[in-house]
Structure 1
């Protein structure tokens, strides 16, 4: 099969020329437009998640020979989470070539973090299926680039850190509440509140519920760890 012009350009940005172009087409096809003759990227996403995980685990082991499992795990999670996959997807313009149903396009699907992250994993799997593990490994290391070497030594996300802070003090896990949502479907804005047993509360807003929760958790943790004057 012949790829469309936009997918040919994407191949160039990706740095991998597919011997089986149908794999690339499948990797960028969302379930909202799939059919019996046009499979979506969900199975590839499943495989790509595992390929990415193995590549990152190997890379982190090689980058820090003294790190313990407890130190490596949060760094690993920071590099393979959906937000990071979505960042990489934006770097290579993956959203521009996604094949989406009309409703998903109208709701801003090309910019949705979860959708971009899933598609990035599917593209990794497509390269793996097209040319093998070493090709997929090379792709991941190149696209993630400096993120691997600069991931924070303690890369726990804010929600995890806040939960550990609370548990260490005998508190229940933080409670998150969605307190507002506005903006058009293609560019929503979420407001989230996080509250602790001791009555401490913070709110934050972001373009996704997950990002708003992280921002609120980070703000509350910073306040809890700041010594009182």
Structure 2
């Protein structure tokens, strides 16, 4: 009998033990979710830095490169680039890039076409009474290498360009590089902001020169004006003499003097013989009283007899 009680007690103990263990299991079930809950605060902060990184990435190339919307280059160019890489490419000359594909040459190609289209449309709409020949001459002058290079120097864009160590200083860059820079900026702005942004950029810089050129009526061909006036007076054609040269062979400057009959005029230095001759002709016109400097630049007066001004 004791063995039966013992057996019964043993079975009761098992049941009791089972109840206890069941309690322990129940308690364990409670404790495990508690542990999971304790891990949640650790897991929850993890997405927050990701969200910050996503917001930083959404800010675009400017944020990634450290270039802010207040970049002084944006103010100088007059356009805030969404894709700053385009601006950098436009300001990168082939002499400093690893490959020509990484230079501004392709943007120059695009900008040349955009520039021509903007000027042609503007002239067509603004001057409906001008003949095709007049518009063609005006357009050719406005998109010329000389004009584009002049615009770059006037705006100071040349001080932003990246050039190789083998190149001369930015203040002495040839006109081909300066003109290419202007066209590259036109192309970059066109890709970044569209046709309206490119149009605004071009006309902002071109407009004063368009008006002045129309007032002069000769696309600043002062040699042609001087030639016509001298012939009208029966004095023969002007002649031009090289008075001096300076600079290396690849970037030589020339001093040219104009002369009509026995009268020689003030000489002029230029980055090419052609430019120096135009400057010399302008000096002659000033000294003869046929050009005055107005608010928009030199203005040719109504033709008069030149004979009275000659010695």
Q: TM-score category by the smaller chain?
A: 0.7 to 0.9
Q: How does 1:155-194 map to 2 (within 5 A)?
A: 155-158=218-221, 161=224, 180-182=244-246, 189-192=253-256
- Correspondence for 1:74: 137
Aligned in 2, Cα 1:219/1:12: closer, same or farther, shift over 3 Å?
Answer: closer
Instruction: Give yes or no for the alignment of 1:118 onto 2:197.
Output: no
1:90 to 144, 153, 157: 153
- Structure 1 residues 93-104: aligned runs within 5 Å: 93-104=156-167
- Where relative contact order (Cα < 8 A, 6+ residues apart) is larger, the structure is 1
* Alignment of 1:128 onto 2:190: yes
Paired residue for 1:228? 307
How many residue pairs were aligned? 220
- How far is 1:211 from its partner? 1.9
Residue 33 (str. 1) matches residue 112 (str. 2): no
| Aligned 1:188-207 pairs, distance under 5 A | 189-192=253-256, 204-207=267-270
The TM-score with structure 1 as length reference comes to 0.74
- The answer for the alignment partner of 1:171 in structure 2 is none
Q: What secondary structure sits across from 1:190 in the alignment?
A: strand
Partner residue, 1:146: 208
**Structure 1 vs Structure 2 CA RMSD:** 3.9
Structure possessing the higher radius of gyration over alpha carbons: 2
Distance 1:10 1:158, change over 3 A: same
Structure 2: runs of 5 or more not aligned: 1-60, 232-237, 289-302
Q: What runs of 5+ residues in structure 1 fail to find an aligned partner?
A: 169-173
Q: What secondary structure, in the 3-state scheme, does the structure 2 residue paired with 1:32 have?
A: coil
81 and 65 in structure 1: CA distance in 2 versus 1, 3 angstrom threshold: same
CA contact (8 A) 1:59 1:148 kept: no
Secondary structure at the aligned position of 1:143 is classed as helix
Structure 1 residue 36 displacement after superposition = 2.8
